Amino acid sequence: MRIIPAIDIIDGKCVRLSQGEYSSKKVYNENPLEVAKMFESNGLKYLHLVDLDGAKAKHVVNYKALYQIARETSLTIDFGGGVKTDDDIRLVFENGAKQVTIGSIAVSEPEKFDTWLFQFGPDKIILGADVKDGMVAISGWQTVSTLKLNSFLEGYAKKGVKYVICTDISKDGMLLGTSMELYKELKKNFPKMLFIASGGVTEKSELHLLNDIGMDGAIIGKAIYEGRISMQDLKDFIQID
């Protein structure tokens, strides 16, 4: 299972939110590159980079931070937030992202998502399935759609989507544990999809449990920044992996 630390960016700074609420913003570092280099120096290989300004503005904003991290580290970066147009997705790949996470467009403009999936291939496009009370949420979690999570995933499974980041918004940034039962159900219902857990991972033990149920990856954010999961914990897990 891939261990994927997260850097969320607002105004060029490394921040975390609680349940996607921008009013809950807490700045952890003024320099995302410094944080990314710290992850790399501790042996981590992946990074989940989220443009929260972009998610709100509905177009990519923090591409310069992406470029800087991609240029100055060897981290494999997946980028999400504000990718709405052909120009946005091209900008993200040109600035060093290896994968792009697409959520809102997959709901509001499925034909465009299908085009990108065909153009770039299932290894480059991650489906972002953010869920609140069983329904898919979009636009930086500001809007809850009328789509049920299972129906949403079923449609894209048939189209060949390979990677899915599934975030339980109620858990995100709360440090109360992740949605283990949700992920068990998803793995059972969609065994061929590679699911990445996101939201609420709080303790090292959860990483082992997520690995045991067959998750492809786990994104960790606030638990790192608040010292609940240490770099040593992640090193140990990578060694076991």
The residues annotated with a catalytic role in the active site are 8, 130
d(CA 138, CA 52): 13
Bridge-based pairing of strands 143-148 and 135-138 is antiparallel
Q: Which two tokens stand for residue 112?
A: 């465009």
Sole residue written with tokens 């052909």: 86
Long-range contacts of 229-238 (CB under 8 A, 24+ apart): 229/201, 229/202, 229/203, 229/204, 231/38, 231/42, 233/204, 233/207, 234/3, 234/5, 234/42, 234/43, 234/44, 235/42, 235/43, 236/204, 237/3, 237/204, 237/207, 237/208, 238/3, 238/43, 238/44
DSSP-derived letter for residue 183 is: H
Angle at 115 between CA 112 and CA 121, to 5 degrees: 130
